[in-house]
Structure 1
Amino acid sequence: MQDHKGHRNNKDQKDPTTHRLVFRPGDDGYKGEVAGFQTGPAQRPAVVFAASSPADVAAAVAYAAAEGLPVGVQATGHGLPGAAEGGVLITTKRMDGVTIDVEARTAHMQAGVRWGGVVEAAAPYRLAPLNGSAPGVGAVSYTLSGGLPLLAREFGYAADHVRSLDVVTADGRLRHVTRESDPDLYWALLGGGHNFGVVTEVVTGLVPVARLYGGALDFDGRAVDPEAVLRAYERWTRTVPVTLTSSFAAVAYPDVPALPPHLRGRYVISVRVVYTGPGTDGERLVAPLRALGPALRDTLREMPYTESHTVHSDPDVPHTYYGDSAVLSGLDVAAAAEVLSRTGPEVSPMCVVQINHLGGTLAAKAPNSVPHREGRFLVRLVAMAGREAAREVLDPAFAVLSPWTVGRALNFVFGADDRTEGLYDAETRLRLAALKARYDPSGMFRRNYTIEPVRDRERA
């Protein structure tokens, strides 16, 4: 197949050579097909395969192998690795089916389904998936990168609950992978992202959660001392049960009409809480936080799990941003306060700071490659800017945390130009590199935070 540079009106038509839906630069629909939620990095693949089935995925991989082209995979585009030119992009957003097996208490999730769809499908059976805070994020991609759920401290990583995966590997085979059938590949897929093939379906366990106590406490960051709130939060996390998962956030909002009145132009310090115990116990547990001062907004309440996305109220409109993360051995409050000062309301571009309390079941061993389980806190820093402008602010802030940093989290690197340093500990990286050499020796899958099949192994 050859690239066509001219304009073709072929939106939603089958490619005459492959009999599958493909796009090339200049085609109607090309720009929309490559667009992701993260709008900063420019994606310009030579060929886009818009997959609707595992057979479409296998055809795309076969084409890439024949042409010697690299392959990237995109569901929703929330965590693009950076700008990319050429190669093959496989988009999976049309593969958005989800089926609930009530007896087995599992969800069969196709490659492009979003977490909101899985939550809604499981809710009638009083079950819940191990989803993240944003319902618009792709469930499968999030899980392959580990998956930090709302219920993380109680149930661990989303990857820890996967029963099986269907994946097209570099040899073009569609494999059904379980821990028993292919222990090495199963281990590598769950934590290794898109490095070992294109996953077309995941079967994952569900948990018996139909309701929760949760929400957010928002404080005016100019009326309270952010460091004092952070210090109280860190102290509070030492007292809470494993059934409570929480995070601290700091956001300097612009004064724009699109925002709710209580956020416009404010520096907001928030604590977000998710607790599966009784609401009366939840009220008792959050009392020390409420005592910190008057809140701009207090949304803590009992709610059905289908409303769990309101705890964080993540933005649902695509926009430009760059971000990274640091898994910490502990939270030094003075250092974290320095990070707040470097990313606060006087700083441009606008930044978002989130500090997640880890531990609990997240620290338990599992037969997958999700690393840094010893981490006690996760810091995420995001700037509403392109890579260069963002790094001028964020890199010095991360440097402040370096004495306590044990690594980075694959779920929370946004636009880092495929930089993989710190994503894995040395032992995990060595094993992943060896398995990459076995399952993808040519490095075909190298557009999503790439593990090198040989070079990384030699460096380890």
Structure 2
Amino acid sequence: MTSTPHAHPGTPVPDLFALSSVTGPVLRPADDGYATEVTGFNLAPVHTPDIAIGATSTDDIVTALRWAAATDTPVTVQATGHGANFPVTEGLLLNTSRMTDVTIDPDARTATIAAGAKWSHVLAAAAPHGLAALTGTSTDAGAIGYTVGGGLPVLGRAYGYAADLVRSFQVVTADGVLRTADAQEEPDLFWALRGGKGNVGVVTEMVTELLPVPRLLGGGIYCPGEHAEALLHAWAEWTATVPDEMCSAYHLLRLPPLPDIPEPLRGNFWARVAVAWPGDPEQGERLIAPLRTAAPVTVDTVSVIPYTQIDTIHMEPQNPLPARESCALLHTLTPEAITAFLDVCGPSAPADYPLLMIGLRHMGGALARPCTVEDAICARDADFLLESVGVLMSPEAGDAVEAATLALYTAMAPHGTGLTMVNIHGRPGDDLDRARAWSPEVYDRLRRTKAAYDPRNLLRHGHTVTPAAAPGPP
């Protein structure tokens, strides 16, 4: 622990003696290592909390939350920073990235995952047993942060949401109490931790089911961007014919000329369909054959791959960058919706169009089925997900990305459900904007659950909700 705290100018120095038992670093802004401790994968928000703690154990997290409760200090949790969409300018930032332990029970087909473990850690531990987890498009993301937001997997149509497979959480609530939450014990807490994001506590450990999927058929079919319309119409029609196990997404990619991007993709505009199929490879190849004749194909990476190579399907950036993401849930992808989409971001868009990636992901299948144990996910009625990412390399680029994002989602709003998904909602706005991640009923219940476990709203940064007000006298 750092011995000499340094406060922001004009900020009272809180009593840090109660944190003396923390085994990880406890850092103030002037301390060596502070900037590294608070920086996550998304470099767009610059964090300047009053204190940063690098937790190394559940005990560290308990101590930090007890101190925060005693001093009325707001708390932000960061494992990898993939979901960081706002700057933290006060309070305590709790970095769990050192807590990466994963234990596999091959007989029970479960993984016990520590607070800061990435999905890559989980897959590396599970693969020798022929098992896999329901990961998203990047295994560099934190397993727990992804899952408490519901977790939309690459194989979601085949197996559902990542939160559907969770058996239990170990969580420290805002009062510093360590609790176990599952379907029988603390069921309201368990409900809120599966789709309600970081509203009710700091998860220190998660037990989740694994799947016997050692390999899959997956990859991308890339066409030059001028053929975006033909490929999109073909893909939209094709999605109505495929079985639930076929998982896919359509993307428009305007890739910068960066060395991390392989040739010939580097520096060019592409239309792509990414596919993932966990069944018989020959059947999968027959199913995707129509996509290969819909438009001229320049690059085709679809092949049988180990599950540990699932990142190669969507090829998301592997290095930190400043980004602005957003999403919206859509009803069926009608011809009118396709026209509206292409009019905004298709081949006729300006050459300097600023959104790096715009995607339409096929939902439905297992994603539409209710979970056995009720959860807070509100995306089961959507047939498609619209998502976008812009890179903020300069203030001018930031303005252009913001304007393009607004134009895209305004154009697609008539075709949407009115809701988003909390993990990729993007920068959270006011209460009305944050509420769009849930139905009105789930939002109200989440606020009531928040009031029970965090009535002072210490966990108030990020995509959180305000606690429901206590009922007045009769």
Query: What interval of TM-score do these two structures reach, taking the shorter chain for normalisation?
Result: over 0.9
Cα distance, 1:180 vs. partner?
0.9
Given candidates 338, 346, 370, the residue that maps to 2:377 is 370
Counterpart position of 1:413: 425
Which residue matches 2:13?
A: none
SS at match of 1:85: coil
How far residue 448 of structure 1 moved from its aligned partner, in angstroms, is: 2.0
Given candidates 41, 44, 49, the residue that maps to 1:40 is 44
Q: Distance in 1 between matches of 2:292 and 2:438?
A: 38
8 A Cα contact 1:343 1:351, kept in partner: no
Tell me, yes or no, if the aligned pair for 2:29 and 2:50 is still in contact at 8 Å: yes
**Other-structure match for 1:424:** 438
Worse-matched range after superposition: 180-189 or 258-267: 258-267
Question: Is contact 1:430-1:456 (8 Å) kept?
Answer: no
Structure 2 partner of 1:334: 339
Aligned match of 2:77: 73
CA contact (8 A) 1:242 1:361 kept: yes
CA drift of 1:369 comes to 0.4
- Pick one of 339, 348, 356 that aligns with 1:351: 356
Asked if 1:379 corresponds to 2:386, the answer is yes
SS in 2 for 1:420: helix
- Return the alpha-carbon distance in structure 2 between the equivalents of residues 448 and 299 of structure 1: 36
How far apart in 1 are the matches of 2:147 and 2:284?
Answer: 28
How far off is 1:16 after superposition?
A: 9.1
CA–CA separation in structure 2 for the residues paired with 1:288 and 1:455: 55
- 2:187 equivalent in structure 1: 183
Contact 2:48 2:89 (8 Å CA) reproduced: yes
User: Does the Cα contact within 8 Å between 1:429 and 1:457 map onto a contact in 2?
Assistant: no
SS in structure 1 opposite 2:450? helix
Structure 1 window deviating more from structure 2 (325-334 vs 108-117): it is 325-334
> How far is the alpha carbon of 1:140 from its aligned partner?
0.6
Aligned residues: 450
Distance of 1:379 and 1:230 partners within structure 2: 13
Match of 1:172 among 169, 176, 179: 176
Deviations 1:403-428 (A, max 9, x none): 12221111113334575141111000
Shift of 1:255: 3.1
- 1:265–1:391 distance in 2 versus 1, CA, 3 Å: same
Q: Give 2:299's aligned residue.
A: 297
Which residue in 2 is equivalent to 1:9? Answer: none
For 2:350 and 2:26, locate their aligned partners in 1 and report how far apart those are by CA, in whole Å.
45
Q: Give the TM-score normalised by structure 1.
A: 0.93
Q: Which residue number corresponds to residue 232 of structure 1?
A: 234
One-letter identity of the residue aligned with 1:336: F
How far apart, in 2, do the equivalents of 1:457 and 1:209 lie? 49
Structure 1 CA distance for aligned equivalents of residues 414 and 347 of structure 2: 17
What letter matches 1:422 in structure 2?
Answer: R
Corresponding residue number in structure 1 for 2:457 = 443
Find the counterpart in structure 1 of residue 147 from structure 2: 143
Q: Give the superposition deviation at 1:256.
A: 4.1
Cα deviation for residue 15 of structure 1 reads: 8.1
Q: Secondary structure at the match of 1:43?
A: coil
Q: 1:274 to 1:30 in 2, by over 3 A?
A: same
Supply the distance in 2 between the matched residues of 1:455 and 1:26 (Cα, whole angstroms).
38
Q: Provide the residue aligned with 1:277 in structure 2.
A: 279
Partner SS state of residue 422, structure 1: helix
CA distance in 1, matches of 2:242, 2:46: 43
Among candidates 252, 255, 269, match of residue 254 of structure 2: 252
Structure 1 residues 167 and 390: alpha-carbon distance in aligned structure 2, compared to 1, 3 A threshold: same
1:17 to 1:141, Cα distance in 2 relative to 1, 3 A: closer
**Structure 1 residue corresponding to 2:405, chosen from 387, 394, 413:** 394
**Distance across 1 between alignment mates of 2:212 and 2:91:** 43
Contact 2:451 2:469 in 1 (8 A): no
Structure 1 pair 59–17 and aligned structure 2 pair: CA distance change class (3 A): closer
Counterpart of 1:308 in structure 2: which amino acid? I
The match for 1:452 is: 466
AA paired with 2:389? V
SS of alignment partner, residue 410 of structure 2? helix
Quickly say closer, same or farther: Cα 1:342–1:447, change in 2 above 3 A: farther
**1:390 deviation in Å?**
2.2
Gaps of 5+ in 2: 9-15
Over the aligned positions, Cα root-mean-square deviation in angstroms equals 2.2
Indicate how the Cα distance of structure 1 residues 434 and 16 shifts in structure 2: closer, same or farther if over 3 A, else same: closer
Name the CA shift for 1:424/1:457 in 2 (closer, same or farther; >3 Å).
Answer: farther
Name the SS for the 1:251 alignment partner.
Answer: strand
Aligned-residue sequence identity (percent) comes to 39
The answer to whether the Cα contact below 8 Å between 1:81 and 1:413 also exists between their aligned partners in 2 is no
C-alpha contact (below 8 Å) 2:138/2:311 kept by paired residues: yes
CA contact (8 A) 1:253 1:350 kept: no
**Which of 214, 225, 229 matches 2:218?**
214
Instruction: Quote the offset at 1:334 in angstroms.
Output: 1.4
Q: 2:100·2:117 contact (CA, 8 Å) conserved in 1?
A: yes
Q: Which residue of 2 aligns with 1:10?
A: none
1:433–1:457 contact (8 Å) kept in structure 2: no
Counterpart-to-counterpart distance in 2, 1:344 and 1:156: 35
Answer yes or no: is the 8 Å Cα contact 1:3–1:46 preserved in 2: no
